[in-house]
């Protein structure tokens, strides 16, 4: 079969079903016609190296990547169990990331520290002038060297077109994030895992990233700084941020929350996963009216401790009563539920918004032991569409 007689569009379509390595091996240097078409095919190409074996990566990097440096717009490197050491191998083939002059998106998954990788993070990333999307997912580099991590963060904040950044990096074996010292005028979507935020640090981050529209962060552990935060530490100049969406996971501090909301009158989406501190329905109503006039989507889950001196059922009724006013039921149609167990060993109440929109059912909850109440008139208790994790206990099915 003579493939050269095929229409150009059909050839490009057929290339989609051939791996990059097989495409180069089979067609490159057959003639100038195929060479041109291969280069056209790789225009705006998305390269996911997870699909390559170690030997295939070597062949691609040594023979073919130099041909398409200026055409690749997306790279995904991974050091997970399926492709261990991939990032180190990639950089050991004398490839400099800044040679990808059209690169717009870069994802790095479970990248381990290595001299070549640390060199790239120290000096190379600032040269990716077209980068709009950057994701560090469970990476471990610059171990023991906070200065290099600070330098990297400042380089990220200096990228002129970067819009999205996901930061889950463990430079010293645990999640940590150093505050930037320069402004980003492009970042709009930011996700950070950090165990030790306080109000002052978050205010500084907002100041250095003034165009953020979506911010999410995960508080990984409890620190004494949380309870020592004072309300209203916010600078007057930060009282009108353009933030549209805010998500806080494992939040322990009421004051951190209030200080953030104080800066975000444009917020329309709020998602809170809270622990042990409590804001009742009357207080939430005042906060929303005072600080969040544009709020349209309210997602909440809070784990609270029972008061042993008050009847459990009475406590649940008191919690829910604060969410039964016209503000909640009629104006916004935001319904709240409570879930608890009958076990004497579990003294936690889960207060949550309906429909249930979180990824996990609270721990120690089984169909045989939990009880629920809600403010929803139709008595709909759960919507499970968003749940990703379930715990199976075979003892539940033993008669």
Domain ranges of the chain: 1-41, 296-399
Sign of the dihedral through C-alpha 15, 16, 18, 22: positive
Tell me the C-alpha distance between 104 and 311, whole Å.
Answer: 58
Write down the mean pLDDT value for the chain.
Answer: 82
| pTM of the entire predicted model | 0.84
First to last CA, the chain: 67
pLDDT of amino acid 226 = 46
- Could you tell me the pLDDT band of residue 308, with boundaries at 50, 70 and 90? confident
The whole-angstrom separation of Cα 399 and Cα 395 is: 9
pLDDT grade for 225, boundaries at 50, 70 and 90: very low
User: Please, which pLDDT band fits residue 32 given cuts at 50, 70 and 90?
Assistant: confident
At a CB cut-off of 8 Å and minimum separation 6, what does 36 contact?
A: none
Q: Which two tokens stand for residue 10?
A: 């059909």
Query: For position 204, what pLDDT does the model report?
Result: 93
pLDDT reading at 364 higher than 60:
no
∠ CA 203-204-208, rounded to 5°: 120
Distance of CA 235 to the CA centre of its chain: 27
Per-residue pLDDT of 233-242, as tens digits, reads 555 567 789 9
Question: How many Cβ atoms from other residues are within 10 Å of residue 319's Cβ?
Answer: 19
pLDDT for residue 387 = 62
Inform me whether the pLDDT recorded for 219 exceeds 80: yes
Per-residue DSSP letter, 6: S
Higher-pLDDT residue of 114 and 395 is: 114
Instruction: Point out the least confidently predicted range of 37-41, 233-237, 298-302.
Output: 233-237
Alpha-carbon distance of 121 to 82, in angstroms, equals 23
């Amino acid at each position: 079969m003579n493939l050269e007689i095929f229409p150009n569009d059909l050839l490009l379509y057929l290339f989609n079903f051939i791996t990059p390595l097989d495409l180069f091996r089979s067609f490159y240097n057959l003639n100038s016609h195929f060479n041109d078409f291969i280069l056209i095919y790789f225009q705006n190409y998305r390269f996911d190296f997870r699909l390559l074996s170690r030997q295939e990566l070597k062949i691609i990097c040594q023979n073919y990547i130099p041909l398409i440096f200026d055409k690749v717009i997306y790279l995904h490197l991974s050091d997970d169990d399926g492709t261990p050491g991939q990032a180190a191998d990639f950089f050991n083939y004398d490839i400099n990331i800044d040679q990808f002059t059209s690169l717009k998106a870069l994802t790095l998954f479970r990248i381990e520290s290595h001299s070549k990788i640390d060199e790239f993070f120290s000096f190379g990333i600032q040269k990716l002038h077209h980068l709009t999307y950057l994701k560090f997912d469970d990476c471990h580099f610059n171990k023991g060297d906070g200065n290099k991590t600070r330098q990297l963060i400042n380089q990220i904040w200096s990228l002129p077109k970067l819009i999205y950044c996901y930061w889950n990096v463990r430079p010293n074996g645990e999640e940590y994030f150093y505050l930037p010292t320069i402004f980003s005028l492009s970042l709009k979507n930011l996700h950070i895992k950090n165990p030790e935020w306080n109000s002052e640090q978050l205010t500084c981050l907002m100041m250095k990233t003034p165009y953020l529209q979506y911010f999410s962060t995960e508080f990984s552990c409890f620190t004494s700084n949380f309870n020592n935060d004072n309300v209203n530490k916010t600078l007057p100049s930060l009282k009108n941020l353009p933030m549209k969406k805010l998500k806080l996971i494992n939040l322990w501090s009421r004051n951190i929350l209030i200080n953030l909301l104080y800066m975000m009158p444009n917020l329309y989406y709020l998602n809170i996963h809270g622990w042990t501190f409590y804001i009742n329905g009357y207080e939430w109503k005042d906060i929303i009216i005072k600080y969040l006039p544009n709020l349209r989507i309210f997602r909440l889950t809070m784990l609270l401790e029972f008061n042993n001196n008050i009847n459990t059922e009475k406590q649940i009724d008191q919690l829910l009563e604060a969410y039964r006013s016209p503000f909640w039921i009629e104006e916004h149609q935001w319904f709240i539920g409570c879930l608890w167990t009958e076990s004497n060993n579990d003294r936690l109440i889960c207060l949550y918004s309906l429909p249930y929109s979180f990824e996990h059912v609270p721990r120690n909850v089984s169909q045989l032991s939990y009880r629920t109440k809600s403010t929803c008139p139709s008595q709909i208790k759960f919507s499970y569409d968003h749940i990703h994790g379930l715990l199976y206990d075979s003892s539940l099915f033993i008669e």
